Structure 1
Amino acid sequence: MALQEYAGSIVMEVDGKEVEVIDLSDTVRTGRKLVKTMNRTGRAKGFAKGIAEYELSVTVAIPLSGDMDWLAIEGAKITIYPNSPGGQRESYLDCFTTEAGNKYSVDNEARRDLKMQALRKVTE
């Protein structure tokens, strides 16, 4: 059994400034919709294409100084870098914040949870 190599670090860039990302999860909605028709079989016959949506949940560390206005983020770029040379990066472009919240715990540093939307996803 050969060893597998996986994607590496995640960098969020807002107005040319890098932000340390602790956690990132993405959800892609294809926009497809079931088309129901009246037919003898009593079941749907197909689907209609729609517009894809990219929803991101991002957790970042809260800096002691130079904290940014997280709700005002527009046009951010989030890139997932591979650890190996020659691997392809994945980037979410034109990201904007829809929700922001704080998280505090005994064991970890203070964190900020962001809900974001992206207009595009590209493989570079």
Structure 2
Amino acid sequence: MADEYVGSIVLELDGRELEVVDADIQTTTGRKLVKTMNKTGRAKGFSRGIAEFAINLSVVVPLDGDLDWMAIEGAKLTLYPLSGSGGKRTSYLDCFTTDVGAKYTVDSEARRDIKMMALREVIE
């Protein structure tokens, strides 16, 4: 079986596509350990919770001007498979910004490090 890789990552914001250089996505299941007072001294099980999607992005600052990165709400992040691989796209919907940082290096373009949360994950 051949390995499949992500081809490109695009952040869509108000009909505009922004170049994503780096993405780190962490999914928390929301499950929690249930501790009870019993004679065995062990936990009895777990409870189901609400999944959370935390996203850390590095984006290139567009040539036509910097954006108000702190005001991002309702954005869509899409991970596209390599063309011809037959893989499925994964999208994170209703993304909103929680933190923004700036990064400047000698050999590269100006970037913004953005921490976001997403409300939904959709595998298309």
TM-score, normalisation: structure 1: 0.93
Shift in Å, 1:83: 1.1
TM-align CA RMSD:
1.3
Kept in 1, the 8 Å contact 2:61–2:112? The answer is yes
State the Cα distance separating 1:63 from its structure 2 match. 2.2
Letter in 1 for 2:59: V
Q: Tell me whether 1:43 sits opposite 2:48 in the alignment.
A: no
Partner of 1:108: 108
SS at match of 1:71: helix
C-alpha deviation, 1:105, in angstroms = 1.7
TM-score by length of 2: 0.93
Contact persistence 2:7–2:82 (CA under 8 A) = yes
The yes-or-no answer on 1:92 pairing with 2:110 is no
**Distance in structure 2 (CA, Å) of the matches to 1:108 and 1:45:** 53
Aligned length: 123
Q: Which runs of 5+ in 1 are unaligned?
A: none
- Map 1:1-124 onto structure 2 (within 5 A): 3-85=2-84, 86-124=86-124
Compute the displacement of 1:40 (Å): 1.0
Q: Distance in 2 between matches of 1:63 and 1:76?
A: 17
1:112 and 1:33, CA in 2 relative to 1: closer, same or farther beyond 3 A?
same
Contact 2:4 2:87 in 1 (8 A): no
Distance in 2 of aligned mates of 1:105 and 1:93: 31
CA distance in 1, matches of 2:4, 2:37: 50
